[in-house]
Amino acid sequence: HVVEIGGYLNPISDHLFHDVSSIRVIDPKIGPATWISAGGCEVRHIRAKYQAVDFSDLPSPYALVILGYSMKPYGQRAAVDPSLLSLVDGARRLVVEWADALERAASQVPVLIDRPGFATVCRIAWRIEDGVIDRTAYADRTLVVRDRTAGV
């Protein structure tokens, strides 16, 4: 099972081709949809901020994926609130990618990736060189994969 927060223009559900039972993509701009893939994977695109989603029926174990980290507050709820920390704490694998120069990511991502009980599987520093983003301060990126089962 995979839960992606974000993914509006390029959801992970368009790219997973191996055995995944379910994928939920939560993004306030994504078109809501539900379907079963050719491989039998239940895919749900939920148009909402993660803070407004009920995760009580989330299957376990799951991986939590946040690519292009850019969390913002939702009403009175902080960008990183107890529901996000609960999602992180319940995940078997955590994948987070962010622009190094994005201030809110620099202050918020460590709160997520430094949660106890995880070991780092990999950390990759990379640069987008697409002729567009590489002209901005956001071309330098970091991707971290943390796993509950690796060395913990």
pLDDT tens digits, one per residue of 95-125:
999 999 999 999 999 999 999 999 999 999 9
- Rounded Cα distance, 106 and 118, in Å: 19
Task: Summarize the confidence of residues 70-92 as an average pLDDT.
Answer: 94
Full-model pTM: 0.92
Specify the higher pLDDT residue, 101 or 40: 101
- For the cut 80, the answer to whether the pLDDT of residue 18 exceeds it is no
The pair of three-digit structure tokens given for residue 18, joined into one six-digit string:
């191996």
Q: Which two tokens stand for residue 102?
A: 């994005």
Collapsing DSSP states into helix, strand and coil, what is residue 30? coil
> Does the pLDDT of residue 8 top 90, yes or no?
no
- H-run or E-run covering 38: none
